[in-house]
Amino acid sequence: MKTVFIIGVGLIGGSFALDIKKLHPESTIYGIDNNEAHLEEAIALKVIDKTAQFEDLKHADLVILAIPVDAAINVLPKVLDKVSDNAIVFDVGSTKEDICAKVKNHPKRRNYLAVHPIAGTEYSGPKAALLGLYNNKTNIICEVEETAFKLQEKALKLFSDLGMRIRYMNPKAHDKHIAYVSHLSHISAFMLGKTVIDKEKNERDIFDMAGSGFESTVRLAKSSPAMWTPIFKQNKTNVIETLEEYISNLNHFKKMMQDDDFEAVYNEMESTNYIKDILNGIK
């Protein structure tokens, strides 16, 4: 792992860069990014060692593609076109079906591993990169059998060194379930933020009334629209399904309140308290 390329030097790519440099101090970490300011910042923060061009990818041992999913789907084939037979390339996007379909017949398909690390914060850019971000986090790998054995092994060794738990799924199941446990949470937070901002826009001091509960529930509404819009677009069918079920549950809750059936309201909340046991399993 001597020559590592990070395409997209933001929170996710930058955090991989920091961890890899710590594990392999002898490696050189190259950054490629459309955003010149991010590249400069990444160098200044020592997130990457050097900047590079697309042509340099032919020297890569490892390429991590950490850009929004709409860009990733177009850039991945071009990366595969450039890399040598010994390079492992993985993306980190929150949708897996379209990108796997895109490179299904690419001559270098076996150099690619479809990866989704369940890690991050609501911040973005190189300054959001964190050493140790991936420790104890889940990493979902799709279509592992489509990747060359030796390159699977190389990537899995890295994930193991980073302290990640591996889960294997097919891309279709990944996109369906991640819509529930991740994408829907983002929409729920964004719309909660919008509802309160719209109502209270002329009464800024009302936010003095907000406590840590509101802050926690609305936290994801700080997330980057540039990252999330393409995710919702690529996972449109699944996300709309989750939204419909969520809206239906909210309407049912409203109906119970309108009917003064507060015993049912109580029971609904009590049965959902079971989330405690589930969350205890999340690190």
Under a CB-based contact definition with an 8 Å cutoff, are residues 66 and 34 in contact? no
Closer residue to a second copy, CB minimum distance, 111 or 235: 235
Cβ 166 to a second copy shortest distance, Å: 10
Least distance in angstroms from the C-beta of 117 to a second copy: 9
Residues 99-138 that bind a second copy (CB under 8 A): 118-122, 137-138
Q: Are 40 and 15 a contacting pair, CB within 8 Å?
A: no
Residue placing its CB nearer to a second copy in the complex, 43 or 192: 192
Structure tokens at 11: 């929170």
Q: Is 221 helix (H, G, I), strand (E, B) or coil?
A: helix
Residue listed under structure tokens 């592992």: 144
Least gap, CB of 236 to a second copy (angstroms): 6
In the complex, minimum distance from the CB of residue 237 to a second copy, in angstroms, rounded to a whole number:
10
DSSP structure class, residue 94: S
d(CA 130, CA 103): 30
Extract the runs of DSSP E, i.e. beta strands, from 79-237. Answer: 88-91, 112-117, 138-142, 165-169
Site for a second copy in 194-213 (CB under 8 A): 194-200, 203-213
By C-alpha distance, which of 90, 136, 135, 151 is closest to 116?
90
CB of 100 to a second copy, least distance (A): 17
Determine, following the binding rule CB under 8 A, whether residue 278 of this chain makes contact with a second copy. Answer: yes
Cβ atoms 152, 173 nearer than 8 A: no
Question: Locate tokens 């002898």: which residue?
Answer: 26
Q: Distance (Å, rounded) from C-alpha 275 to C-alpha 282?
A: 11
The residue among 128 and 196 lying less far from a second copy, judged by its C-beta, is 196
26 vs 282, beta carbon nearer a second copy: 282
Residue 60: closest CA among 151, 152, 166: 151
Q: Which of 24, 102, 106, 219 binds a second copy (CB under 8 A)?
A: 219
111 or 242: whose CB is closer to a second copy? Answer: 242
Site for a second copy in 153-192 (CB under 8 A): 165, 167, 174, 177-178, 180-182, 184-192
C-beta of 46 vs 262, nearer to a second copy: 262
Site for a second copy in 14-53 (CB under 8 A): none
CB 226 → a second copy: shortest distance, Å?
Answer: 8
DSSP string, 124-152: -SGGG--TTTTTT-EEEEE-GGGS-HHHH
CB nearer a second copy, residue 40 or residue 98:
98
Which residues ranging from 225 to 264 are in contact with a second copy (CB under 8 A)? 225-226, 228-230, 232-233, 236, 239-240, 242-247, 249-251, 253-254, 257-258, 260, 262
**Beta carbon of residue 141, minimum distance to a second copy (angstroms, whole number):** 12
Assess contact for 211 and 241: CB atoms under 8 A: no
Distance (Å, whole) CA 91 – CA 84: 17
